Amino acid sequence: MTEITAPKSPVTTAEFADEIREQLKYTQNVTAEQATAADVYVAASKAVRNHLVDSWFKTQSDMVNGNTKAVGYFSAEFLMGKQLENALLNAGLTEQFDEAVKELGFQPKDIVDAEYEPGLGNGGLGRLAACYIDSLASLGVPAFGYGIQYKYGIFKQTFDENGKQVETPDYWLNNEEPWGHIDYNRDQKVSFGGEVVEENGKKVWKPAWSVRAVPVDYMVPGYESGRVNTLRLWTAKSYDEFDLLTFNKSEYLDAVKPQVKAENISKILYPEDSTKVGKELRLEQQYFFVSASLHDAIRVFYPGEAKPDLTTFPNKITFQLNDTHPVIGIPELMRILIDEYDYDWDTAWSITQKTFNYTCHTLLPEALEVWPASLIGELLPRHLEIIKKINEQFEDELKGKGIDDATIERMRIYTGDSVRMAYLATYGGSYVNGVAALHSQLLKDVTLKDFSDAYPDKFTNVTNGVTPRRFIKLANPGLSDLITEGLGTDKWLSNLELLEGLVPLAQDDEFVKKFAAVKNANKHNFVAFAKQHYGIDVDENTLFNTMVKRLHEYKRQSLKILAVISKYAAIKNGTVSADDILPRTVFFGAKAAPGYYLAKMTIELINNVSRVVNNDPDVKGKLAVYMLPNYNIEMAQNLIPATELDEQISQAGKEASGTGNMKFALNGALTVGTLDGANVEIRERVGAENFFLFGMTVEEVEKQYADGYDPAKYYEADPRLKQAVNLVADGTFSNGDRNAYAPLVADWLTKDWFMTLADFSAYADIQGEIEQLYRDPLEWNRKALLNVANSGFFSSDRSIEDYLERIWHTGPLA
Ligand code: F58
């Protein structure tokens, strides 16, 4: 096998082992003999960090002193995953680390596993931000990720004895966290509330309270680029002194109230996914990190200047708004320019509009944030004034374009009682992009149609991507070695389109067999992982079929579980002969938002189907179903490489892009999916014959809505569906309790907004095709290999290059 040449590193194994020992001694204060895996993890992490410092400094000074525009990626979420292995890879220290820890008496895997995964994001949007900052650094583009260091990340998920989801707080900072450096000397003051008064003809905001935003810096090393960028996550601290007077009156809790209020701002990540949460604390969080970041960027690019020339600001940095969450940054930059730096409105507007761009990640109207004007007025009175003025200017501009009153009415940013953040972002920035070709088209045709008609040049597409470093190299070392062998180079890790070179090898049966062997080894490894983490015994001689993503009705986990139930019934009834049954293991992984009733009930149903099916001797060895708890990045890195069949079965027109679909294709799974989000582009690239397509198209869905959709009709028409629904209704999966899933069943039969029932027959039918192909391992693996070979487009490096060209108009440092 061709050896992967690690990037040159200045240290030997012996030196790196010494550096770890030094950290153990001087910062961990344990001897090498006393050290546990957790100690070595911290020590090694700090040692790696030290290796990155010089490149980090140089990147920062080149960024500030050069004339390459930087990127500021504003995101309420960065779902980073474990850091150590990634930092080692990008710093070119993997081999030294492996040998050094062995020398210290440990297995590398135990050290890497000792890291606690930070969960500072909900799902796709947060993970995308993490992939993008990895790619920015790898491409050598100077960039900041700006966000919040939540004390509590996404909740930890377990299931109770009835299969219900239980959420427990995830206090990830309970463990020593060697990556973030808290920099008390680069703090920013962020203020809230109060009122706006006029002083000498000028508006002056007199806030009621302030919090101290303190940055925690994470280095973001590029792969083989020699560049290290910064992820700056803000944590909230209180300015208020402890109120001694109140304390002396024995009212201790009242005395600490201001601290508690301030520090609450960065306490918890909202565990919502694609649903709106109109909570005051959330707006406080959004403003908190955006205000601190804007002031920080000015500090960084105009160091020590009391009166900087901020008309040059858009040449220094461009801000990408990751969904609507940071959009309050638009009026905030206006306020900073006008109130703090005395610019006139028009100059401020020109700077602001040039500086911001907006990425939309949804097609669900309810997920576009709308804030009550009263709430903004209370919390940010000056910003509400600015927003109103932006809206006036906007309406004038539209009139000037000859747009009719009814259209203007629909487009208003400020409606009199609320503020539409997506509209503010679209008007207030230079570009708007969707996250897959279909999504961007639907934004133009439907969601933001009026805007696209009025400002066609603003709209563009950047199809999402994922980082091949984490999701191929680290997650799937076996496949990585095979790719390198096949291509004769490891350059594909920074130029993923090179995977195309594998296409001819799909005709080489020996290579395909090696590919199949890698998949089987990954399945074997996952069996061990599943035993260790979940205590389950998975049969590796079955088709590994996976559906992992947030639990949402539009993603249609219901469709999958109904098909599983139908299959179970067919085996039980003997409708399929034993010979015709292809043994399958179905894995689900999904967190539901804590307040999302039907989503939580779906989890409970899956768990109970799992209990019934897995304990039924009649189906043993033929069908098994697992709802794996607490889906996170670590599970993804282990499960995706082991998966053979991936489920991307959302209702057409609802999944903006999906990024799991890309990870699976790149790891050699075949996809069963609808024409939705990036599935469309994946199928185009890997070839229709290498993708299991089923279900209605966007147009067919629209037609059904228009004609009046009746799910009961589908229930009556397909006996397989009828039987599956009946088994849920009759208590088969609830110990005879017919009420247990009544709300879910009622929803399916009377409403079924995402048309699960309408797509059921097509989905059930295509299973036959899937199973037929799987019986021919060589053909299956040939197609799976072609998925890998043709998915190079879905690297986040390519996405970032698209952003550079279409939106940011900048590039790597010289
Ligand atoms: C996801 N959105 C999209 N939102 O659903 C998915 O299709 C896309 O691939 C991905 O973004 C990346 O573009 C998403 O993950 C959230 O998690 C938000 C969190 C905060 C509240 C609103 C939803």
pLDDT bin (cut points 50, 70, 90) of residue 244 is low
Nearest to 458 by CA among 446, 445, 444, 447: 444
CA of 593 to the centre of ligand 1 (A): 13
Q: Annotated catalytic, 523?
A: no
d(CA 470, CA 301): 32
d(CA 314, CA 310): 8
Helix-helix angle 742-750:756-774, to 10 degrees:
100
Q: Please name the residue that has the structure tokens 């096949």.
A: 486
State which H helix or E strand residue 480 sits in. Answer: helix 477-487
Instruction: Render pLDDT for 436-453 as a digit per residue (tens, 0 to 9).
Output: 999 999 999 999 999 999
Output the average pLDDT for the chain: 95
Check if the beta carbon of residue 796 is closer than 8 Å to that of residue 466. yes
Check if the beta carbon of residue 70 is closer than 8 Å to that of residue 143. yes
d(CA 769, CA 782): 16
**Could you give the 3-state DSSP secondary structure of residue 265?**
coil
Domain residue limits, the chain = 1-66+82-116, 69-81+121-464, 489-794
Q: Same topology for domains 69-81+121-464 and 489-794, yes or no?
A: yes
- Give the per-residue pLDDT at 9: 54
* Ligand 1 nearest atom to the CA of residue 464, by list position: 13
pLDDT bin (cut points 50, 70, 90) of residue 247 is low
- Give the per-residue pLDDT at 59: 98
* Ligand 1 nearest atom to the CA of residue 359, by list position: 13
The pTM for the full model equals 0.97
- Give the per-residue pLDDT at 402: 98
In 10 A of CB 811, how many CB atoms?
15
- Give the per-residue pLDDT at 273: 55
Q: Could you tell me which residues are beta bridge partners of residue 196?
A: 205
pLDDT bin (cut points 50, 70, 90) of residue 243 is low
In 10 A of CB 208, how many CB atoms?
12
**Could you give the 3-state DSSP secondary structure of residue 444?**
helix
- Cβ neighbours for 579, distance < 8 A, ≥ 6 positions apart: none
In 10 A of CB 763, how many CB atoms?
23
- Give the per-residue pLDDT at 305: 95
**Could you give the 3-state DSSP secondary structure of residue 176?**
coil
Instruction: Render pLDDT for 572-610 as a digit per residue (tens, 0 to 9).
Output: 999 988 788 999 999 999 999 999 999 999 999 999 999
d(CA 598, CA 600): 5
Instruction: Render pLDDT for 753-770 as a digit per residue (tens, 0 to 9).
Output: 999 999 999 999 999 999
In terms of residues, how long is the chain? 814
Residue 7 has pLDDT above 70, yes or no: no
Residue 371 has pLDDT above 60, yes or no: yes
Q: Please name the residue that has the structure tokens 């992982």.
A: 529
Residue 246 has pLDDT above 90, yes or no: no
- Give the per-residue pLDDT at 588: 99
d(CA 147, CA 120): 10
Amino acid at 629: P
Check if the beta carbon of residue 646 is closer than 8 Å to that of residue 671. yes
Nearest to 239 by CA among 256, 216, 262: 262
- Give the per-residue pLDDT at 367: 84
From residue 83, alpha-carbon distances to 113, 619, 633, 708 in Å are 11, 41, 11, 50
Cα 54 → chain centroid: 30
Q: Could you tell me which residues are beta bridge partners of residue 216?
A: 182, 233
**Could you give the 3-state DSSP secondary structure of residue 693?**
strand
For ligand 1, is residue 555 a contact (CB within 6 Å)?
no
As a whole number of Å, the end-to-end CA separation of the chain is 35
Nearest to 318 by CA among 688, 93, 70: 70
- Give the per-residue pLDDT at 746: 98
Of 34-43, 358-367, 613-622, minimum mean pLDDT range: 358-367
d(CA 197, CA 479): 64
- Give the per-residue pLDDT at 272: 78
Pocket test for ligand 1, best of 122, 125, 796 (most atoms within 8 A of CB): 125
Q: Which residue's CA is minimally distant from atom 23 of ligand 1? A: 274
Instruction: Render pLDDT for 248-258 as a digit per residue (tens, 0 to 9).
Output: 677 777 777 77
CA of 322 to the centre of ligand 1 (A): 10
Q: Annotated catalytic, 555?
A: yes
Nearest to 364 by CA among 441, 447, 444, 272: 447
d(CA 697, CA 755): 12
Please give the average per-residue pLDDT across 462-473, as a whole number. Answer: 98
Check if the beta carbon of residue 666 is closer than 8 Å to that of residue 151. no
Check if the beta carbon of residue 624 is closer than 8 Å to that of residue 580. no
DSSP state of 105: T
Give, in degrees to the nearest 5, the angle at Cα 524 between 523 and 527. 85
Residue 6 has pLDDT above 60, yes or no: no
Catalytic one of 463, 546, 659, 756: 659
For ligand 1, is residue 286 a contact (CB within 6 Å)?
no
From residue 427, alpha-carbon distances to 136, 367, 386 in Å are 26, 19, 14
Please give the average per-residue pLDDT across 771-782, as a whole number. Answer: 98
582 burial level (CB within 10 Å; 0-12, 13-18, 19+): middle
Nearest to 794 by CA among 462, 432, 443: 462
Q: Please name the residue that has the structure tokens 């020339």.
A: 309
Q: Annotated catalytic, 663?
A: yes
Cα 802 → chain centroid: 19
Number of H helices, E strands in the chain: 34, 22
**Could you give the 3-state DSSP secondary structure of residue 447?**
helix
Q: Annotated catalytic, 316?
A: no
- Cβ neighbours for 418, distance < 8 A, ≥ 6 positions apart: 370, 371, 372, 373
From residue 292, alpha-carbon distances to 214, 337, 386 in Å are 9, 14, 19
Q: Where are the beta strands (DSSP E) in 476-579?
A: 543-548
Catalytic one of 550, 552, 654, 685: 550
d(CA 540, CA 524): 6
pLDDT bin (cut points 50, 70, 90) of residue 3 is very low
Q: Annotated catalytic, 439?
A: no
Residue 5 has pLDDT above 60, yes or no: no
State which H helix or E strand residue 319 sits in. Answer: strand 317-322
**Could you give the 3-state DSSP secondary structure of residue 482?**
helix
Encoding tokens for residue 586?
Answer: 């179905």
Q: Annotated catalytic, 307?
A: no
DSSP codes of every residue in 610-659: HHHHHT-GGGTTTEEEEEESS--HHHHHHHGGG-SEEEE-PPTTT-S--S
- Give the per-residue pLDDT at 4: 32
Pocket test for ligand 1, best of 281, 286, 361 (most atoms within 8 A of CB): 361
Pairing of β 418-420 and β 370-372: antiparallel
* Ligand 1 nearest atom to the CA of residue 277, by list position: 21
For ligand 1, is residue 124 a contact (CB within 6 Å)?
yes
Please give the average per-residue pLDDT across 690-714, as a whole number. Answer: 98
d(CA 46, CA 40): 10
For ligand 1, is residue 367 a contact (CB within 6 Å)?
yes
Instruction: Indicate if the alpha-carbon torsion angle 78, 295, 289, 149 is positive or negative.
Output: positive
d(CA 96, CA 93): 5
Q: Could you tell me which residues are beta bridge partners of residue 197?
A: 204
* Ligand 1 nearest atom to the CA of residue 272, by list position: 21
> Is 69-81+121-464 in CATH node 3.40.50.2000?
yes
Q: Please name the residue that has the structure tokens 């009828």.
A: 722
Please give the average per-residue pLDDT across 504-522, as a whole number. Answer: 98
d(CA 262, CA 524): 49
Encoding tokens for residue 604?
Answer: 């409970």
Encoding tokens for residue 158?
Answer: 């377990």
Instruction: Render pLDDT for 84-135 as a digit per residue (tens, 0 to 9).
Output: 999 999 999 999 999 999 999 999 999 999 999 999 999 999 999 999 999 9
Pocket test for ligand 1, best of 274, 461, 802 (most atoms within 8 A of CB): 274
d(CA 211, CA 235): 10
Nearest to 458 by CA among 426, 410, 413, 421: 426
Instruction: Render pLDDT for 790-813 as a digit per residue (tens, 0 to 9).
Output: 999 999 999 999 999 999 999 999
CA of 121 to the centre of ligand 1 (A): 10
- Cβ neighbours for 506, distance < 8 A, ≥ 6 positions apart: 512, 782, 785, 786, 789
DSSP state of 580: G
pLDDT bin (cut points 50, 70, 90) of residue 317 is very high
**What kind of fold does domain 489-794 have according to CATH?**
Rossmann fold (3.40.50)
CA atoms within 13 A on the CB side of 630: 19
d(CA 799, CA 794): 8
Q: Which residue's CA is minimally distant from atom 14 of ligand 1? A: 125
